[in-house]
Amino acid sequence: DLGSYVRDAVASNNNSSQETLHDLSHEDTDTKLLVAGNPNTSSDTLHELSKLKYNRQIRYAVSLHKNTRPDTHQSMDKTDFKNLSERP
């Protein structure tokens, strides 16, 4: 639908504000993944996304993000990323 297309476009836009990205982090899984990969996403939003136990891809994207706080890294179980990081 057009709404999800627009949300995803904004979530992947490097000019989106931290506030907008935070709001989008409560949308569907695809949008959350785009937010987790956006360089403007705040460390607080990334911390929230790191708690999504049902989605390893989102947590993996958070673990690679430059804005992820040390305490967020420490709270994440990296063992379930093994298969994700080995993809060609």
Q: CB–CB of 25/48 below 8 Å?
A: yes
**Total length of the chain:** 88
Residue that wins the pLDDT comparison between 47 and 74: 47
Orientation of helix 29-37 relative to helix 43-50, angle to 10°? 140
Mean pLDDT throughout 71-82?
A: 76
Mean pLDDT throughout 72-76?
A: 87
pTM equals 0.86
Q: Quick one: 43 exposed, middle or buried, by C-beta within 10 A (0-12, 13-18, 19+)?
A: middle
Give the model's pLDDT for residue 75.
86
Q: CB–CB of 25/35 below 8 Å?
A: yes
Give the model's pLDDT for residue 82.
61
